[in-house]
Amino acid sequence: METVIFWILSAFAVAAALAVVFFKRAVNGVISLLALMLALAGLYVLMGAPLVAFFQVIVYVGAVLVLFAFVIMLLNLKESVRPLIFLADVKAATPAALFAVGIVVLSWLALQDGVFSKAAALPPASGLRQIAVDLFTRHLLVFELASVILLVAAVAAIVISRKEGGRP
């Protein structure tokens, strides 16, 4: 049964990710991104990581997607008049696609070799308290850098949305 749920969630996640890329309207892209994030949360639950699924829903769906939606509303984006895919878009995306295929192939080869199964794994965190202690002691710099990046993104969205006259 878990295998069937995994394949359904995986297919849903891939379809939602493709919809994010190919929808013309930005609002539809955000809604597709919401579906993708929820499918990923379901996959995390299947992997036995309900805390990560909880953080996925709270942080990404509850905060980042809301920020995306507000930015789209602030920018007042109109429907695009260009075709779905330009030839220039395909040329620009080719190196990224080749890189992604290379990463997938190398990951598959590494998993076939058994390199990761022999590596010593870190002991899992015992609970939410241990995760919080790790986050705010050993990983404090990364945590603060992420918050600064989100602050810069919010300020940049406001600056971009301003009109020439000074008020949004």
Q: Where are the domains of the chain?
A: 1-84
Please give the single-letter amino acid code of residue 90.
V
> Is the distance from CB of 57 to CB of 37 less than 8 angstroms?
yes
Topology, domain 1-84? Four Helix Bundle (Hemerythrin (Met), subunit A) (1.20.120)
pLDDT digits (tens, 9 = 90+) for 80-118: 544 555 555 566 667 767 766 776 676 666 556 554 444
pLDDT at res. 29: 83
Question: What is this structure's pTM?
Answer: 0.53
Please compute Rg for the chain using Cα positions. Answer: 20
pLDDT at res. 119: 41
Positions of the chain with pLDDT lower than 50, given as ranges: 81-82, 115-120
